[in-house]
Amino acid sequence: MSRRRLNEFDLTLGQKLLQMNWMFIILLGVTVAIGVGMLYSAAGGDFNPWASRQMIRFGVGVAIMIVVALVDVRIWMKLAYPFYVVALILLVLVELKGSIGMGAQRWINLGFVQLQPSEVMKVALILALARYFHGANLEDVGRIPYLIVPLIMVGAPAVLVLRQPDLGTALMLIASSGAIFFLAGVRMWKFGVVLTMALAAIPIGWQFLHTYQKNRVLTFLDPERDPLGAGYHITQSKIAFGSGGVFGKGFMLGSQSHLNFLPEKHTDFIFTMLAEEMGLLGGLGLLGLYFLILIYGYAISVQSQNHFGRLVGLGITSTFFLYVFINIAMVMGLVPVVGVPLPLISYGGTAMLTLMFSFGLLLSVSIHREVSIARRGGEEDV
């Protein structure tokens, strides 16, 4: 019986491809194309070294995304915990290996590819939490002991990432997890308590921050504190941003970007370059594309017939949003400088592949939206 029921939701490859949200993929393509254009400009009118590689990565990313999307969402749910455990082991490995190298240890060399376990964890954590809360009813969620396991699931990788040290990613992990807790129905007052405790812990945590992290926060609070040192980046970014005006200085004509006043113009500060060369209109255009992607994310999540899919969908959408928001807010001086790339635009391999993988999951949720899954294993009894 269970077998027949399972097959009821099974789709053929052709059906799946038909169900694939191609408009969403085109939307991603358009956004990446803008990024490639900016990378072309950043290199002074050259596809090398960034634009061409970014295109190739996007191509690979699309392939991964489609493969991931075609895998049944139920299989992803089954893989959620093993995936999480693997990611956690990788983080521990980085921690162990990290003592050998110098500075921030974020990479692990698997021989054929440089892997960044914290990126993998971003996806794995969403899957694991979604799976956990999938099996929870509202009463369960209301009980505090029930929340201990998911809190450990968040806490363990967050602490490991923090030790690398990578404050930005740790906060991102906590923030996207928070979104899932929130969607799962955890009471508001509990968020209130946690937030209050976090604020109270800030003075203690401050002592554990590295000097450069402290400087970033201090610089954010007062960018003119050290205009040629830590505040230089954000000051130059704001000058580039503001001098773009409404219509921008023109493609490849951004003086701040091309004369190197703007730092990291091909990675974290690429939105500034866009704003300088394309102006307010260009910035709003890209923001509009992001807005559409978010709408798609919401539509897919809300339409899903299983709670796992809904939580995964919005977990991914929220993480994506966080990246977009924090990056753009950072380059405009609204939040401290944290090393957060602009999704789909910034140059960077791991980030692109992780993002495309998670969009694959989102599309899987979309394709398998009619699948209902029982709260505790197997299918939901209708």
Partner 1 sequence: MSIHRDGDRYKLFSRRAAMLAGGKLALLTTLVGRMYYLQVIEADKYKTLAEDNRISMRLLPPPRGRILDRRGVPLAVNEQNYQVLLVPEQARDVNETLTALDAVIGLTGGERKRILREIKRKRSFVPVTVRENLTWEDVARIEVNTPDLPGIMIDVGQSRYYPEGVATAHVLGYVAAVSEKELTGDPLLELPGFRIGKAGMEKVHDLALRGAGGTSQVEVNAFGRVIRELNRQEGRPGADVRLTIDFSLQKMAAERLGEESGVAVVLDVHTGDVLALASNPSYDPNAFNRGLSSKEWKTLVNNPRTPLNNKAISGQYAPGSTFKMLVALAALEKGAITPQQKVFCEGHMELGNAKFHCWKKHGHGPQDMHEAIMHSCDVYFYEIARRTGIDRIAAMARRFGLGDVLGLELPGERRGNIPDKDWKRAIYGEPWHMGETLIAGIGQGYVLATPLQLAVMTARLANGGYAVKPRLTRRIEQATDENAAQIDAPGSLGVNPNHLKLIREAMEAVANEPGGTAFRSRIVKPGMEMAGKTGTAQVRRISKAEREQGVLKNDELPWEQRDHASFVGFAPIEAPRYAVAVVIEHGGSGSKAAAPIARDILIEVQKRNPGRPPTQMQEAKL
Residues found near partner 1 in the complex (CB under 8 A): 137-138, 179, 182-185, 236, 238-246, 255-256, 259-261, 275, 279-280, 283-284, 287, 291, 294, 298, 301-302, 307, 310, 314, 318, 321, 325, 328-329, 332, 334, 375, 380-382
Q: For tokens 């897919």, what's the residue? A: 300
Min dist. Cβ of residue 206 to partner 1 (A): 25
CB of 71 or CB of 294, closer to partner 1: 294
Residue 229 DSSP label: T
Rg of the chain over Cα atoms, rounded to whole angstroms, equals 22
CA atoms within 13 A on the CB side of 142: 3
CB of 128 or CB of 275, closer to partner 1: 275
Min dist. Cβ of residue 321 to partner 1 (A): 5
CB of 216 or CB of 307, closer to partner 1: 307
Chain-centre distance of CA 310, in angstroms? 17
Min dist. Cβ of residue 280 to partner 1 (A): 4
Helices 167-184 and 307-331 pack at an angle, to 10 degrees, of: 140
CB of 61 or CB of 150, closer to partner 1: 150
CB of 57 or CB of 233, closer to partner 1: 233
Three-state DSSP class for residue 168: helix
Min dist. Cβ of residue 42 to partner 1 (A): 14
List CB contacts of 379: < 8 A, sequence separation 6 or more: 2, 5, 6, 9, 371, 372, 373
The 3-class secondary structure across 104-147, one letter per residue, is: CCCCEECCCCEECHHHHHHHHHHHHHHHHHHCCCHHHHHCCHHH
Q: Look at residues 361, 353, 360 and name the one whose alpha carbon lies nearest to residue 57.
A: 353
CB of 211 or CB of 260, closer to partner 1: 260
List CB contacts of 292: < 8 A, sequence separation 6 or more: 27
CB of 162 or CB of 184, closer to partner 1: 184
Q: Look at residues 316, 5, 11 and name the one whose alpha carbon lies nearest to residue 172.
A: 316
CB of 11 or CB of 332, closer to partner 1: 332
Question: How far, CA to CA in Å, does 224 sit from each of 196, 199, 369?
Answer: 30, 26, 51
The residues pairing with 114 across neighbouring beta strands, listed in sequence order, are 109
